[in-house]
Structure 1
Amino acid sequence: MKKILFSFLLVSFFLSCKDVAYKNTKIVGKTSQIDSTTVADSTYIKVIEPYKEKMIKEINTVLTYTPIDLVRTDGNRQSTLGNLLADLAYTRANPLFKKETGKDIDFALFNYGGIRSGIFTGDVTNRNAFQLMPFENMLVVVELSAEKVQELVNYFTNGNRAHPLSKQVQLTIRQNGHTLKIHGKPFDKSKTYYVLTSDYLQSGGDRMDFFKDPVKLYKLDYKVRDAIIDYFKSVDTLTSTLDNRVILK
């Protein structure tokens, strides 16, 4: 009898181990209102508090100082903040690109709409960097044909926005045309140029379609925001002016 019972239990065990196909038959949702009457759970607060304190400390860490307000609206086709952003990105990215390729970036271009906040007189913190660039955009370099560079310039001159353009460019805009110099040399229609931008713009963001399908694309594995923070850490004082990179006649 014991053998029969054991055999029965053994068979039952193996049958219970068979794969069973479960099917969801019902989904129930519940809305929990969170307002002033909600009581905080002290257990969770105790776990979260150290991380919260660390985050607050880091976000308010002073990186540098600015003696003037830096904004995107204080110039015509250029701005102190746009100039700073384009120049610092070039400064941080060019050594990486040169190490990889042995070549220099020709210039940098970003978009006006990508500047999400100004930086105002006083201490500059990590918070300012995150407010300025809240996105996870990465820096990339595109090798553009002369034809694509001309499309880029046409986009810039036909619009009425101060897109961040680095100081390696001298662009004179007239009513009947424009003159372009890069690194002090006249634009050469027979060569390609290396342009620094973000992966968002390279994919055609803000209608910058000239960045699509470049001769070659280089990914630097470096976030725009990280470049901003690293530059802020490297200088005691931020300086930026409206200069001759864009001249209107």
Structure 2
Amino acid sequence: MKHRSASALLFSLLSLSLTAQVAATKAEVIPVNATIPEDPAIQKVIAPLAAEIKASFDLPLVQAPQGVFRGRKGEENLLGYWVSDVMRKAAQNVIGAPVRFAITNAGGLRSNLRPGQLKVADIFELMPFENELVVVELTGAEVIEVVKEGIVRRGGEPCSGVKAVVGGTPEAGTYTLTWEDGSPIDPKALVKVATSDYLYGGGDSIPTLKKGRKPFTTGVTLRQMLLDECGALAKAKQDLLPPALGRYTIPEPIQAAIRDKKFKL
């Protein structure tokens, strides 16, 4: 017993000594900028790789004469609509069955697609993450709740397959969700849903998505999915055009209340 106590005391003293030494050492911030000279040996190694990557990023993809934009100050997120449409289409191709609904997150779209010739680099800037396409099953009631959560949190996350109408007042909002053709959503029906592994895992506070049943990870990254879609459009000699407006109808007073975190639905 005495031996174990002495060992424990020695360990404690050593820990305190090391802690004191670390605490006494001052951190030094070294800025990484043009003043740091390049290492010729390292540059010799990476130069061929850098050239190859640049050449790949400069490859042309497809024409986008109007561009596709995320929207600002209440405008609809047409870029998000396009991404969610491609997710839904890609998911259907992978599983060989209808996918009724798709949802992505506006925060994951990091740049707009400017008008003109799109290159590989443009898609990497838009989607720099390695998020993968996932297919799950939700009930109609859960789809309604998923879209509602996106509205309350951020004024509506980009979706495919549905139309949402928000009304009422900021203090007592109303909400209607239908399928894209205007038909009602059966709360009890099970439907296939395309999303990202990030959202399905609980990212961006859409908790109902985590209830998804029979999750199937396609192995396709969202970035590769978009690159493939651009390639398919170019092969068909078609331009990349923005989707139509009208998936979300939300009056400006309610949009303002959502931004101010004062909207109740």
Q: Normalising by structure 1, report the TM-score.
A: 0.77
Of 207, 210, 216 in structure 2, the residue corresponding to residue 209 of structure 1 is 207
Is 1:172 aligned with 2:150? Answer: no
Change (3 A) 1:37 1:74: closer
Runs of at least 5 residues in structure 2 that lack an aligned partner in the other structure: 1-17, 19-27, 252-265
Runs of at least 5 residues in structure 1 that lack an aligned partner in the other structure: 1-25
CA distance in 2, matches of 1:34, 1:157: 41
**Aligned residue for 1:115?**
109
CA distance in 2, matches of 1:113, 1:39: 36
CA distance in 1, matches of 2:151, 2:36: 55
RMSD (Å), alpha carbons: 2.8
Measured after TM superposition, the shift of residue 150 of structure 1 is: 2.7
Deviations 1:104-158 (A, max 9, x none): 1111111111111111111111111111111110110111123322321321343
Of 68, 83, 100 in structure 1, the residue corresponding to residue 66 of structure 2 is 68
CA distance in 2, matches of 1:37, 1:82: 40
Tell me the percent identity.
Answer: 27
Whether the aligned pair in 2 keeps the contact of 1:142 and 1:216 (CA below 8 Å) is: yes
Measured after TM superposition, the shift of residue 95 of structure 1 is: 0.7
More displaced, 202-211 or 212-221? Answer: 212-221
CA distance in 2, matches of 1:196, 1:35: 42
Change (3 A) 1:57 1:78: same
Deviations 1:221-242 (A, max 9, x none): 1101110111111113210134
Whether the aligned pair in 1 keeps the contact of 2:144 and 2:177 (CA below 8 Å) is: no
Correspondence list, 1:142-153, <5 A: 142-153=136-147
Matched residues, number: 219
Whether the aligned pair in 1 keeps the contact of 2:166 and 2:249 (CA below 8 Å) is: yes
More displaced, 217-226 or 84-93? Answer: 84-93
CA distance in 2, matches of 1:35, 1:131: 22
Deviations 1:61-118 (A, max 9, x none): 11112112322115847322111111122222211021xxxx2111111111111111
Change (3 A) 1:151 1:218: same
CA distance in 2, matches of 1:75, 1:94: 33
Question: Any idea what SS the aligned residue of 2:159 has?
Answer: coil
Of 239, 243, 246 in structure 1, the residue corresponding to residue 241 of structure 2 is 239
Deviations 1:201-232 (A, max 9, x none): 00111101111132221111110111011111
Q: Normalising by structure 2, report the TM-score.
A: 0.73
CA distance in 1, matches of 2:31, 2:85: 48
Measured after TM superposition, the shift of residue 34 of structure 1 is: 6.5
Whether the aligned pair in 2 keeps the contact of 1:59 and 1:125 (CA below 8 Å) is: yes
Measured after TM superposition, the shift of residue 243 of structure 1 is: 2.3
